[in-house]
Chains A and B, each alone.
Chain A
Amino acid sequence: MIGFLAKRLAFAVTVVIAVSFLIFAMARLVPTSPAYLVLGADAGHAEVAAFEAKYGLDRPLLAQYGTWIHGVVTRFDFGVSFVSGRPISTEVAETLPVTLELILVSMVLCLAISIPLGVISAFQSGGFVDHALRVVSVLGVSTPGFWLGLVLILLLSVKAGWLPPGDLPRLSDGVGPHLLALILPCFCLAIYYTAIISRMTRSSVMEVLHQDYVRTAVAMGLSKTKIRMIYILRNGLIPIISVAAMSCGYMFGWAIVIEQVFNIPGICRALLAAIFARDYNLMQAAVLVITLAFVLLNFLADIGYRLLNPRVSW
Chain B
Amino acid sequence: MPMSAQPPILSIENLAIGLTSGGVPTPIVSGADMTIGAGEAVGVVGESGSGKSLTALAIGGMLPAPLSVLSGRIVLDGTEITRLPEAAFHRVRGVKVGYVFQDPLNALNPTRTTGKHLIDVLRRHNHMSASEAYDKAVAALSSVGITQPDDRMRAYPHQLSGGMRQRVLIAMALVCNPRLLIADEPTTALDVTVQARIVDLFRGIRARGISIMFISHNLDLVLEFCDAVVVMYGGRIMEKGSAVEIGATPRHPYTRALMDCIPRLASRSRQLRVIPGQPPTVLGKLAGCPFAERCERALDVCRQRQPDMTVESPTHAFACWNPAPSPAVPS
Inter-chain contact B121/A221, CB cutoff 8 Å: yes
B109 at the interface (CB under 8 A from A): yes
Contacts of A142 in B (CB 8 A): none
Q: When the two chains form their complex, are residues B124 and A226 in contact, meaning their CB atoms are under 8 A apart? A: yes
Partner of B111, one of A215, A218, A219, A310: A310
Q: Is the CB of A213 within 8 A of B121?
A: no
Bound-complex Cα distance A238 to B109 (A):
13
Q: How many residues of B contact A (CB 8 A)?
A: 30
Give the docked Cα–Cα distance between A223 and B95 (Å). 13
> Among residues 206 to 263 in chain A, which have CB atoms less than 8 Å away from a CB atom of chain B?
211-213, 215-223, 226, 230-231, 234-235, 238
Which residue, of B89, B93, B105, B110, has the highest number of chain A Cβ atoms within 10 A? Answer: B110
The contact size tier of chain A is 20 to 34
Taking CB atoms, residues of chain B closer than 8 Å to A154 are none
A75 at the interface (CB under 8 A from B): no
Contact B156 A221 (CB under 8 A): no
Instruction: Tell whether A275 is near chain B: CB-to-CB under 8 Å.
Output: no
In the complex, which residue of chain B has the Cβ closest to the Cβ of A221? B94
Asked if B262 is at the interface of the complex by the 8 Å CB criterion, the answer is no
Let me know if B93 and A212 touch, CB within 8 A.
no
- Report the Cα distance A304→B91, complex, angstroms: 37
From A212, A222, A230, A311, give the contact of B107 (CB < 8 A): A212
B239 to chain A, nearest CB (A): 28
The reply to whether B111 and A238 form a contact with Cβ atoms under 8 Å apart is yes
A309 on the B face (CB < 8 A): yes
Please report the C-alpha to C-alpha distance between residue A219 and residue B99 in the assembled complex, in whole angstroms. 6
- CB of B95 within 8 A of CB of A221, answer yes
Q: Decide: A218 and B93 in contact? CB cutoff 8 A.
A: yes
When distances are taken between beta carbons in the complex, the residues of chain A under 8 Å from B136 are none
Distance between Cα atoms of A234 and B113 in the complex (Å): 13
Quick one: which of A212, A222, A310 contacts B103, CB cutoff 8 A? A212
The verdict on B296 contacting chain A, using a C-beta distance below 8 Å, is no
Interface 1/0 per residue, A47-65 and B, CB below 8 Å: 0000000000000000000
A222 surroundings in chain B (CB, below 8 A): 90, 94, 120-121, 124
Complex-state Cα separation, A185 to B156, whole angstroms: 44
Task: Flag if A219 contacts B109 (CB, 8 Å).
Answer: no
A213–B125 CB distance below 8 A: no
Q: Is B158 at the interface (CB under 8 A from chain A)?
A: yes
Q: Which residue of B99, B124, B125 contacts A216 across the interface (Cβ within 8 Å)?
A: B99
Within 8 A of A (CB), among B286-323: none
Cβ-defined contact, A221 with B92, below 8 A:
yes
The answer on a CB contact under 8 Å between B158 and A310 is yes
Complex Cα distance, B120 from A4, in Å, reads 33
| A151 contacts chain B at the CB level, 8 A cutoff | no
A308 contacts partner chain B, Cβ-Cβ < 8 Å: yes
- Chain B residue numbers with a CB within 8 Å of A308 are 111
Per-residue interface assignment for chain B, residues 57 to 77, with 1 indicating a CB less than 8 Å from any chain A CB and 0 otherwise? 000101000000000000000
B106 touches which of A211, A223, A234 (Cβ 8 Å)? A211
Given A220-B124, A221-B95, A215-B62 contact (CB < 8 Å): yes
A213 and B108 within 8 A (CB): yes
In the assembled complex, the CB of A130 is this many whole angstroms from the nearest CB of chain B, namely 15
A221 in contact with B125 (CB, 8 Å): yes
B-contacting residues, A134-163, CB 8 Å: none
| A220 close to B108 (CB less than 8 A) | no
Distance of A6 Cα from B108 Cα, bound (Å)? 32
Contacts A/B (CB < 8 Å), 8 sampled: A215-B62, A216-B107, A216-B109, A216-B172, A220-B120, A221-B93, A221-B94, A234-B109
| Interface pairs A-B: 7 shortest CB-CB | A221-B94, A219-B99, A221-B93, A212-B106, A220-B94, A310-B156, A213-B109
Where the two chains meet, the residues of A that have a C-beta atom closer than 8 Å to any C-beta of B are 211-213, 215-223, 226, 230-231, 234-235, 238, 308-311
Not counting A219-B94, A310-B111, A310-B156, a sample of 19 additional A-B residue pairs whose C-beta atoms are within 8 angstroms of each other reads A211-B106, A212-B101, A212-B103, A213-B110, A217-B109, A219-B98, A220-B124, A221-B89, A221-B90, A221-B93, A221-B94, A221-B95, A221-B125, A226-B124, A231-B109, A235-B111, A308-B111, A310-B158, A311-B110
